[in-house]
Amino acid sequence: MKILTAPYIFTPLGFKENQAIVFDKKIIEIGTHQTLEKKYPNAIVTTLPKNSVIYPGFINTHVHLEFSSNKTTLNYGAFVPWLESIIANREVLANNSKAMQEGCKEMLHSGITTFGAVSSYGLDLDVCRTSPQRVVFFNECIGSNPEIIEVLFNDFLLRVDTCESAKSDMLIPAIAIHSPYALHPNIIKKCIALAKERNYPISAHFLESPAEKEWLTAHSGPFKKFFENFLGVSKPVTTIEQFLSHFKDTPTHFIHACEASYDELLILQEGSHSIGHCPRSNKLLGCKRLEIENIQIPWTLATDGKSSNWSLNIFDELRAALMLHPTDDIKELAYRLMGSITHQAADILGVSCGKIKPDMSADFAIVTLPKAPQNPADIALWTILHTNNATQVYIQGERYV
């Protein structure tokens, strides 16, 4: 049993001062260090450095590890040219285990103890299985051409079953539906049925780019040429409404939603869905800003993959979000952002972590501020502005950083 004691602890109800946490693999109790040390005399006590804050381990709900080796290869600025560069370079970029391991390490050092990995080919399974972090492994399904969807679906099922056989409390199988434009409705139905049957979390890219919106609503724009060239089709396989109707009774983590209209957001709200918000990725691929100030449904901040970002460090993403979004109250925005990568993300992925309360996994990201905060209410803001990496990181009670 261990005790961590720090000047500040981040709980779903705000920052608490001068508290300690007693834990083994799970959090046992929170209280003053005097009380806990008396009650648990054999526990190993660690007093954290001055001005330290204990956060629950951070959760990055959306990352593509398979493309971790990209630095200067892909074409940024607009979505369809970027997609074409992915297709042209996937053989070179994917399947670089060393780059994937480095990506996991980068996340770990920034305090990420759980992540949602979208796996297109299953090449990241071993890296995820052996990484210290908890991974929600989103096996991605793709296929819009009715003539080959059976083959694609069977390949997807094989990947899901391989993942299922590696399942543990640190590797959670899940399903990702690529996007409205890349999946035939029949295959979406099959994916959702499978997710329901096995109780898998589910995620889907949704209305990321202006090109996607134009293709789905007007059957024109850059995607028209793309689909004519690659698949010989000139009409999308679905409409936005039809796509969303599949998820009516299945709370889903929709990624991006930059182009979602008021009515579409309302459908997401009514379906108890959530949004994964990746501001740096959106900016680099020429997508709109997600107007988080107008969104009533739960959302998380996520890094996306290095295929559309320069780092997987959550503090880089937090700073970008803080600078990007207009706000009357920057302290409130900072506080919401920290909530989005902890308790909010945990509720969305259905994992027993992300909150400092008894019975949750003892996952912690400890941040040390350069000076004492004048006002505890400002800690989230100081954390985002002054942190590049966590000082210490614990997962299931074990220290990894």
Neighbour count for residue 90 (Cβ, 10 Å): 15
Cβ atoms 167, 173 nearer than 8 A:
yes
Q: Which of 254, 309, 258, 364 is nearest to 65 (CA)?
A: 309
The alpha carbon dihedral of 233, 239, 242, 248 has a sign of positive
Q: Which positions ≥6 away from 191 have C-beta within 8 Å? A: 141, 156, 175, 177, 183, 202
Asked if 228 is an active-site residue, the reply is no
Pairing of strands 44-47, 2-11: parallel
Of 106, 208, 212, 317, the catalytic one is 208
Q: Which residues are catalytic?
A: 208
